[in-house]
């Protein structure tokens, strides 16, 4: 089949990582795959080398432009470029932006859209785009049962679950090769969070938990990696830094890190912090498990679904910071005798999510959408 995958960014966000790895796995299975993406800030390539053909659509910066206007302009630019694209058997959008662009360029008939998680917008134009990308595509896929249940409850649509994959071998190799050692030398015993500082990642709660951890007499710095996103979270970041200063917490913010450095940063951590308030699957936490790093997560239904038995959970509620600090302290002080067994479960869980298996599941979903005669739907 000829397959076009589209994603909203060139940066190492979860949906983008998913798009590239899926495209390469589909190509290994013998299919003709091309990946399209929006490229902001003058980017001319993805954050890593990609082994399938790519097409980047530039989004020039406009000073003073609002996030909402930039998103709408991005959709229009991508739609204009897609209008000249040749016919394919499968058009698969990985987010609401590219779903809107594909729909504008070639219609929604035959369009597949993966829902990684559900966003919450307040700007009317963005709310409309979000709704259109859930209502109009011919088929939706979800990366977990929890997200599929949200889609069913909110929009009445039944979406097959096709989970995420993980490059487990890459992170396991970082652990076995000692790639984490330089980072431990730099930071000592550290708590790592990946994904940057934003509301969905629960950073404010994590800062409060780190203060509670210090009150327990456990000393470990918080290191935050990643964080390039489409949205403007500067007010939230300022709020987080103000809270950190008031509590005596000094997070080390690395920002986006080179692709080659990420496995070592993960493997060097003493514990991986995953206090997200909303997730679709939890790719970053799965990568930490592959590296043998213990994970402490917020107790959300989706994370119970994906990680039960492999991570420690802190109850979500008014006392979350204290509960989370208690779990971190147990890991950092070696107070968990079940840790070796849990680490083995985590490594096995990560290894079970191969991208080739994910590609096979996608191919089955694509096949179910094709017309009985074998003719293509859409362009």
- Give the model confidence (pLDDT) of 325-337 as tens digits: 999 999 999 877 7
Q: Are 117 and 197 contained in the same domain?
A: no
If asked whether residues 51 and 108 sit together in one domain, one would say yes
What per-residue confidence (pLDDT) applies to 379? 32
Domain that holds residue 26: 2-165+354-369
Q: Are residues 176 and 314 in the same domain?
A: yes
Domain co-membership, 19 together with 74: yes
Written as tens digits, the pLDDT of the chain (379 aa) is: 999 999 999 999 899 999 999 999 999 999 999 999 999 988 999 999 999 999 999 999 999 988 889 889 999 999 999 999 999 999 999 999 999 999 999 999 999 999 999 988 777 888 898 999 999 999 999 999 999 999 999 999 999 999 899 999 999 999 999 999 999 999 999 999 999 899 999 999 999 999 999 999 999 999 999 876 666 678 899 999 999 999 999 999 998 899 999 999 999 999 999 999 999 999 999 999 999 999 999 999 999 999 999 999 999 989 999 999 999 999 999 877 767 889 999 999 999 999 999 999 999 999 987 644 333 333 3
Give the CA angle between residues 316, 319, 324 to the nearest 5°: 65
Residue 236 resides in a domain: yes
The pTM (predicted TM-score) of the whole model is 0.92
Write the CATH number for 184.
3.40.50.2000
Residue 343 lies in a domain: yes
Same domain membership, residue 156 and residue 19: yes
Q: Do residues 273 and 290 share a domain?
A: yes
**Same domain flag for 358 and 340:** no
Give residue 291's pLDDT: 98
Q: Is the residue at 59 inside a domain? A: yes
What pLDDT shows up at residue 23? 98
State the total domains in the chain: 2
Express each pLDDT in 224-239 by its tens digit.
998 766 666 788 999 9
Q: What is the pLDDT of residue 230?
A: 63
């Amino acid at each position: 089949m000829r397959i076009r995958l589209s994603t909203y960014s060139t940066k190492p966000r979860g949906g983008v990582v998913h798009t590239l790895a899926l495209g390469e796995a589909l190509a290994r299975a013998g299919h003709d795959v091309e990946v399209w993406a929006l490229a902001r800030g003058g980017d001319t390539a993805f954050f890593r080398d990609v082994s399938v053909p790519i097409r980047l659509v530039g989004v020039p910066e406009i000073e003073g432009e609002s996030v909402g206007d930039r998103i709408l302009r991005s959709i229009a630019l991508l739609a204009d470029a897609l209008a000249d694209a040749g016919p394919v058997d499968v058009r698969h959008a990985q987010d609401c932006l590219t779903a809107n662009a594909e729909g504008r360029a070639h219609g929604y008939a035959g369009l597949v859209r993966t829902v990684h998680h559900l966003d919450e917008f307040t700007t009317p134009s963005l709310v409309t785009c979000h709704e259109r990308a859930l209502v109009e595509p011919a088929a939706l896929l979800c990366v977990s049962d929890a997200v599929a249940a949200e889609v069913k409850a909110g929009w009445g649509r039944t979406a097959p679950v096709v989970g995420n994959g993980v490059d487990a071998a890459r992170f396991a190799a970082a652990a076995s090769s000692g790639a984490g050692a330089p980072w431990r030398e730099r930071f000592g015993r550290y708590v790592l969070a990946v994904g940057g500082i934003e509301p969905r990642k629960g950073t404010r709660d994590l800062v409060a938990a780190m203060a509670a951890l210090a009150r327990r007499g456990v000393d470990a710095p918080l290191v935050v990696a990643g964080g390039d996103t489409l949205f403007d979270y500067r007010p939230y970041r300022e709020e987080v830094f103000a809270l950190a200063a008031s509590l005596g917490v000094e997070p080390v913010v690395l920002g986006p890190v080179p692709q080659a450095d990420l496995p070592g940063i993960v493997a060097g951590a003493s514990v991986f912090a995953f206090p997200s308030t909303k997730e679709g699957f939890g790719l970053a936490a799965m990568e930490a498990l592959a590296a043998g790093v213990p994970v402490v997560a917020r107790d959300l239904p989706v994370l119970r679904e994906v990680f039960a038995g492999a991570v420690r959970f802190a109850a979500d509620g008014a006392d979350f910071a204290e509960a989370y600090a208690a779990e971190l302290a147990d890991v950092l002080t070696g107070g968990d005798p079940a840790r070796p067994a849990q680490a083995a479960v985590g490594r096995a869980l990560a290894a079970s999510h191969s991208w080739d298996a994910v590609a096979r599941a996608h191919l089955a979903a694509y096949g179910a959408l094709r017309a009985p005669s074998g003719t293509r739907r859409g362009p």
